[in-house]
Amino acid sequence: DSGVTQTPKHLITATGQRVTLRCSPRSGDLSVYWYQQSLDQGLQFLIHYYNGEERAKGNILERFSAQQFPDLHSELNLSSLELGDSALYFCASSLSLNEQFFGPGTRLTVL
């Protein structure tokens, strides 16, 4: 158990819908990262938040947005969902720029 929690574990929705994925980092970690793992792309970095502020963005679609709240939990919002958005979404947290600790992931299926 990494200490990072993610909810929900599974999410099934339809195209065009909007969903919110939630992540609680390890106690004491100020950084939260979001990654997407699809079958053909491997683990891809989406976005990094540090203590409530966005610090870096990867190949995150404009339909996707994230935020980190004062209690340090983070939410990833995915809107106007397409079939291709079906993937595993992982959250990770870290205290420094060294190791990142990953949550169990949310499996999103868009039908």
Partner 1 sequence: DQQVKQNSPSLSVQEGRISILNCDYTNSMFDYFLWYKKYPAEGPTFLISISSIKDKNEDGRFTVFLNKSAKHLSLHIVPSQPGDSAVYFCAASARGNAGGTSYGKLTFGQGTILTVHP
Number of amino acids touching partner 1 (CB under 8 A): 27
Selected binder of partner 1 within 15, 51, 55, 109 (CB under 8 A): 55
- The radius of gyration of the chain's CA atoms, rounded to the nearest angstrom, is 13
The minimum distance between CB 47 and partner 1, in angstroms, equals 9
Residue 36 lies near partner 1 (rule: CB under 8 A): no
Selected binder of partner 1 within 13, 26, 45, 86 (CB under 8 A): 45
- Burial bucket for residue 106 (CB in 10 Å: 0-12, 13-18, 19+): buried
User: Is 37 within 8 Å of 107 (Cβ atoms)?
Assistant: no
Residue reference for tokens 């947290």: 93
Report the alpha-carbon distance of residue 38 to residue 110 in Å, rounded: 13
- Eight-class DSSP state of 84: G
Q: Which stretch binds partner 1 (CB under 8 A): 13-21, 61-69, 70-78, 93-101?
A: 93-101
Query: Of residues 56-85, which lie at the interface with partner 1 (CB under 8 A)?
Result: 56-58
Binding site for partner 1 (CB under 8 A): 2, 4, 31, 33, 35, 42-45, 48, 50, 55-58, 90, 92, 94, 97-105
